């Protein structure tokens, strides 16, 4: 499963907030909700977040093996 806990740490250590992401960078509130709930999102959105926060992908998301992953 893709886990977005690193995003919250990165956001906390940046000058941005969820308010600025939504109101100044036009990140939708649905994306913020997906980040909160570890829901899937597209790589374009992850790219945008990396650009906004000036960080690497590892600072936003990480893979964590899970028993609930779909079988391959």
**DSSP for residue 71:** P
Residue in this structure with the two tokens 């806990």, named with its chain if needed: 5
Sign of the four-CA dihedral 37, 70, 45, 62? positive
- Check pLDDT > 90 for residue 4: yes
Span 14-66, pLDDT tens digits: 999 999 999 999 999 999 999 999 999 999 999 999 999 999 999 999 999 88
What is residue 52's predicted lDDT score, i.e. its pLDDT?
A: 97
- Check pLDDT > 80 for residue 70: no
| Reported confidence tier of residue 67, pLDDT bands at 50, 70, 90 | confident
- CA pair distance 9, 69, nearest whole angstrom: 24
- Check pLDDT > 80 for residue 69: no
């Amino acid at each position: 499963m893709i886990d977005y806990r690193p995003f919250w740490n990165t956001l906390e250590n940046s000058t941005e907030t969820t308010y600025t992401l939504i109101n100044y960078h036009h990140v939708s509130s649905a994306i913020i909700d997906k980040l909160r709930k570890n829901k899937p999102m597209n790589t374009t959105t992850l790219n945008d977040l990396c650009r906004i926060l000036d960080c690497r992908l590892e600072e936003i998301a990480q893979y964590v093996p899970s028993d609930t992953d779909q079988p391959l």
